[in-house]
């Protein structure tokens, strides 16, 4: 979706402000936001792509005005509410009002945390069909504007680039975010020149590499 998350190339946000000796967390609640987001995801009620879609579905004015941990927290509350796991009334009153609903996976206890974090969740998958494109080929990306989740940023749509990596086949976020299955597709690193993306005034020394699933690529460039 053309949501507030798709920031590449936007202007007017001001300079980047690095913080000297930045702490890992700036407040106690940020620690809880991280831990609850990870622990709730482990219940199996949504996947990584659904989580991302919940964040980018926040109203743009909200998304752009709150901190990243608040984006996480608001999206988490929305996902819990959509599944009847935690109701808005419960959040309002800060207490349990309706029974817990069964979840696909049991809650992770402390003894499982280290192994789960060290293992992660690989997203590559075996597929039968061969990769359609090869290293060095020039391709054009599709012009698409789905109202649903996609990982092809606006600035890289309808652009000509070169395949510089064939990463393997990966879970396809455009379907996975909407409960339509993993539908793995080949994923490529595609290199674009700054001038292809931003026009003749762009920095001639700029290259941008965008990882693109095969359905994002229209065809070989002429």
Q: Does 162 bind another protein (CB under 8 A)?
A: no
Tokens standing for residue 36? 């609850």
Residues in 123-142 that interact with another protein by CB under 8 A: 123-124
Q: Which is nearer to another protein, 118 or 222 (CB)?
A: 118
| Residue of 62, 100, 134, 180 interacting with another protein (CB under 8 A) | 100
Cα separation, 76 vs 70, in Å, equals 10
Q: Which is nearer to another protein, 56 or 222 (CB)?
A: 56
Smallest distance from another protein to CB 127, Å: 15
Can you give 119-164 as a three-state secondary structure string? HCCCCECCCCCCCCCCCCCEEEECCCCCCCCCCCCHHHCCCEEEEE
Contacts with another protein, 189-208, as mask; x by CB under 8 A: x----x--xx---xx-xxxx
Q: Does 219 bind another protein (CB under 8 A)?
A: no
- Span of 7-15, 127-135, 138-146, 175-183 interacting with another protein by CB under 8 A: 7-15
User: Torsions phi, psi of 160, nearest 5?
Assistant: -95, 130
Q: How many CA atoms lie within 13 A of 4 on its CB side?
A: 16
Nearest to 49, CA basis, from 185, 170, 174 = 174
Q: Could you tell me if 69 and 33 are in contact, meaning their C-beta atoms sit under 8 angstroms apart?
A: yes
- Span of 30-38, 132-140, 175-183 interacting with another protein by CB under 8 A: 30-38
Nearest to 3, CA basis, from 150, 120, 206 = 150
- Span of 31-39, 127-135, 139-147, 174-182 interacting with another protein by CB under 8 A: 31-39
Residues in 44-73 that interact with another protein by CB under 8 A: 52, 55-56, 64, 67-68, 73
| Residue of 61, 119, 128, 136 interacting with another protein (CB under 8 A) | 119
| Residue of 110, 128, 130, 200 interacting with another protein (CB under 8 A) | 110
Q: Does 117 bind another protein (CB under 8 A)?
A: yes
| Residue of 167, 182, 215, 218 interacting with another protein (CB under 8 A) | 167
Tokens standing for residue 195? 């001038």
Q: Could you tell me the CA-to-CA distances from 1 to 58, 84, 149, 172, 201 in Å, in that order?
A: 12, 25, 5, 15, 28
Cα separation, 222 vs 197, in Å, equals 18
Smallest distance from another protein to CB 29, Å: 4
């Amino acid at each position: 979706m053309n949501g507030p998350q798709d920031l590449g190339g936007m202007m007017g946000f001001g300079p980047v402000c690095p913080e000297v000796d930045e702490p890992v967390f700036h407040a106690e609640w940020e620690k809880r936001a991280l831990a609850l987001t990870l622990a709730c995801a482990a219940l199996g009620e949504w996947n990584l792509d659904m989580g991302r879609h919940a964040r980018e579905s926040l109203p743009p004015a909200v998304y752009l005005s709150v901190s990243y941990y608040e984006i996480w927290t608001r999206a988490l509350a929305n996902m819990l509410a959509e599944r009847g796991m935690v109701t808005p009334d419960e959040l309002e009153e800060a207490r349990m009002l309706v029974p817990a609903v069964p979840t696909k996976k049991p809650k992770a206890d402390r003894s499982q945390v280290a192994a789960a974090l060290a293992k992660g969740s690989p997203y590559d998958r075996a597929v039968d069909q061969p990769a359609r494109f090869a290293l060095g080929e020039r391709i054009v990306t599709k012009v698409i504007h789905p109202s649903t989740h996609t990982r092809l940023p606006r600035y890289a749509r309808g652009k000509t680039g070169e395949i510089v990596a064939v990463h393997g086949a990966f879970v396809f976020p455009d379907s996975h975010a909407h409960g339509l299955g993993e539908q793995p597709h080949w994923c490529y690193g595609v290199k674009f020149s700054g001038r292809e993306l931003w026009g003749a005034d762009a920095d001639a020394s700029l290259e941008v590499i965008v990882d693109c699933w095969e359905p994002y690529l229209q065809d070989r460039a002429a």
